[in-house]
């Protein structure tokens, strides 16, 4: 029970990696706040956790809205008294657009969900963490945050920003007992592809060049194990860095 009595908030927890992380955290003793834009999905995950003997509640949140993030953390504190772990998992893909084909609305939406939400949620929990001089943030970045062509330009830029934000935050608050790390998953079997529409064929053709060297796709549960390590005291000396989980794809 590596997270016994910890209070964890997981965004985008209605499916995929977020669901796997929320479920595993609960199995390890955490009280989990399951957050998702889809109420039915969030409720289903929370109910499944409780049916298996865990403790969970759900909060509907569109992380692109500042007021929803405020409500998410406020509701967590009102329900469980504090926050110990924040997992910024919610995210969407672009449609493989290269720079010349980006439209402003798409760029701004991707950054709002993938990047600005990470900042806002972090900003919201920091007073809680600073008061008790302890807290953990786990950001879900991407192999696309470390390399140039795992997606289109907007997604790639948004995840590079998450990596930089993670490193800055980890260093800035290291002496206050706060750790901030990121995970850079490679290709993982989730439903994130459902956020892709009108695929850009030129961008996709360029992106596909590297797929032949991808050893395999990952499972959400495999990423959850990394998130468990980073969320627990077992990683007490790990801070301000990115853990790559991609079966060796980026080692070529």
Domain holding 99: CATH number?
3.40.50.720
Tell whether 235 is covered by a domain: yes
Beta-ladder partners of 31: 7, 55
Residue with tokens 């390590």: 229
What is d(CA 163, CA 18) in angstroms, rounded to the nearest whole number?
Answer: 18
pLDDT for 191 equals 78
Tell whether 154 is covered by a domain: yes
Tell whether 73 is covered by a domain: yes
pLDDT for 196 equals 83
Residue 139: domain span: 7-251
Active-site choice (80, 155, 173, 252): 155
Say whether 155 is catalytic. Answer: yes
Q: Which residues of the chain have pLDDT under 50?
A: none
Tell whether 183 is covered by a domain: yes
| Reported pTM | 0.96
**Alpha-carbon distances of 198 from 72, 96, 135, 156, 191, rounded to whole Å:** 32, 9, 40, 18, 16
pLDDT for 194 equals 73
What is d(CA 96, CA 168) in angstroms, rounded to the nearest whole number?
Answer: 28
Across the beta sheet with 7-10, what order do the strands follow? 55-60, 31-36, 7-10, 85-88, 135-140, 178-185, 242-245
Tell whether 165 is covered by a domain: yes
Tell whether 193 is covered by a domain: yes
Count of domains for the chain: 1
What is d(CA 102, CA 178) in angstroms, rounded to the nearest whole number?
Answer: 37
pLDDT for 146 equals 97
Tell whether 220 is covered by a domain: yes
pLDDT for 71 equals 98
Tell whether 1 is covered by a domain: no
pLDDT for 193 equals 74
């Amino acid at each position: 029970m590596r997270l016994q009595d910890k209070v964890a908030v997981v965004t985008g927890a209605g499916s995929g990696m977020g669901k796997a992380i929320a479920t595993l955290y609960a199995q390890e003793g955490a009280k989990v706040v399951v957050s998702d834009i889809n109420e039915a999905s969030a409720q289903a995950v929370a109910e499944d956790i409780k049916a298996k003997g865990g403790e969970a509640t759900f909060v509907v949140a569109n992380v692109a809205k500042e007021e929803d993030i405020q409500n998410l953390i406020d509701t967590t504190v009102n329900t469980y008294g504090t926050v110990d772990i924040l997992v910024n998992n919610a995210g969407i893909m672009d449609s493989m657009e290269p720079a010349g084909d980006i439209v402003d609305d798409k760029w701004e939406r991707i950054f709002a969900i993938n990047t600005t939400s990470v900042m806002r949620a972090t900003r919201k929990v920091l007073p809680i963490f600073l008061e008790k001089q302890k807290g953990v943030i786990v950001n879900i970045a991407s192999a696309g945050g470390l390399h140039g062509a795992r997606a289109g330009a907007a997604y790639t830029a948004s995840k590079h920003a998450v990596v930089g934000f993670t490193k800055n935050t980890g260093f800035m608050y290291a002496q206050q007992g706060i750790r901030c790390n990121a995970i850079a998953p490679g290709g993982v079997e989730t439903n994130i592809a459902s956020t892709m529409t009108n695929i850009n064929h030129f961008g996709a053709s360029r992106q596909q060049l590297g797929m032949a060297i991808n050893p395999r796709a990952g499972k959400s549960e495999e990423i959850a194990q990394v998130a468990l390590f980073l969320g627990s005291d077992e990683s007490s000396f790990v801070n301000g860095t990115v853990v790559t989980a991609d079966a060796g794809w980026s080692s070529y």
